[in-house]
Amino acid sequence: MPATPLEVENLSAGYGPTRVLEGITFTVPAGARLAVLGRNGMGKTTLLATLAGQTRRYDGRVRLGDTDVTGLSSAGRAHQGLGYVPQTRDIFPTLTVEENLFVGLKGRPKTALEEAYSMFPRLKERRRNLGTQLSGGEQQMLSTARTILGQPSVLLLDEPLEGLAPVICEELMAAFAELAKTGDMTILLVEQRIQSALDFADHVIVLERGRLAWSGTPQALAKDHDSVERLLGVGGLH
């Protein structure tokens, strides 16, 4: 599937009676890279989970290209091309790396596994290891690779760098940059490592208490010291 634009309009959502997101509106053009920033608990995961159809929606619409997916289940959205790599790295611990990847193939030929291995050569070395025998970084690679094998047109990544050593972060970000270069996917990246996110993205939104508090280019955010300090709680970016 080619990349599709993502359009989010006046989205309000939460968990049961708890409203977390209020009136979120933004658009990501086809093939673009959006960084979603904000301090802990501001609603970043809830936003991605809502886009993936996993929370309770109170109001608003979500469109993938020409398709309104608002009324679809998470499986229906995945079928429409939405790929979600959750913050929890959902791999199957009792299956091997290769078996985990088979699950992501969704009917594609087994030869497609080589795509995942060329993106993450470490996974090929570990192909017979169980999910439980992987390091945090390898689990992240596996979780990401499994989703990408399904050829999503919009990819949602929730804090892929969390808890990983700097060298692994660089490896992952390089893989994401390669993926973005193909233009085949529209990518939304939630990250606490602000500089990595800004280096990757061409547009940024910042959430504060479930609302969209800032939107613009990475360059504009880096210059807006007041917003960076108030919304992200860091002294400065370069």
Ligand X SMILES: Nc1ncnc2c1ncn2[C@@H]1O[C@H](COP(=O)(O)OP(=O)(O)OP(=O)(O)O)[C@@H](O)[C@H]1O
Residue 46 binds what, of ligand X, Mg ion, none (CB under 5 to 8 Å, by partner type)?
ligand X
Backbone region of residue 225 per phi and psi (left: phi > 0; alpha: psi in -120 to 50; beta: other values): alpha
A 10 A CB-CB count for 107 gives 5
Considering the complex, what minimum distance in angstroms separates the CB of residue 192 from Mg ion?
A: 9
Distance CA 94, CA 100 (A): 9
Is residue 18 within the footprint of ligand X (CB under 6 A)? yes
- List phi, psi (to 5°) of 84: -125, 120
* Continuous segment of H or E residues that includes residue 21: strand 18-28
Would strands 56-64 and 6-15 be described as parallel, antiparallel, or unpaired? antiparallel
A 10 A CB-CB count for 168 gives 18
Is residue 20 within the footprint of ligand X (CB under 6 A)? yes
Q: Please select the residue that binds ligand X; options are 31, 38, 83, 137, rule is CB under 6 A.
A: 38
Give SS3 for 220: helix
Is residue 12 within the footprint of ligand X (CB under 6 A)? no
Is residue 44 within the footprint of ligand X (CB under 6 A)? yes
Residue 157 binds what, of Mg ion, ligand X, none (CB under 5 to 8 Å, by partner type)?
none
Is residue 41 within the footprint of ligand X (CB under 6 A)? yes
Considering the complex, what minimum distance in angstroms separates the CB of residue 142 from ligand X?
A: 20
Is residue 71 within the footprint of ligand X (CB under 6 A)? no
Would strands 203-208 and 33-37 be described as parallel, antiparallel, or unpaired? parallel
Residue 43 binds what, of ligand X, Mg ion, none (CB under 5 to 8 Å, by partner type)?
ligand X
Give SS3 for 132: helix
Residue 42 binds what, of ligand X, Mg ion, none (CB under 5 to 8 Å, by partner type)?
ligand X
| Residue closer to ligand X, measured from CB, 55 or 153 | 55
Residue numbers at the binding site for Mg ion (CB under 5 A): 44-45, 87
Considering the complex, what minimum distance in angstroms separates the CB of residue 231 from ligand X?
A: 12
Distance CA 180, CA 228 (A): 26
Is residue 233 within the footprint of ligand X (CB under 6 A)? no
Which residues make up the interface to ligand X (CB under 6 A)? 15, 18, 20, 38, 40-46, 87
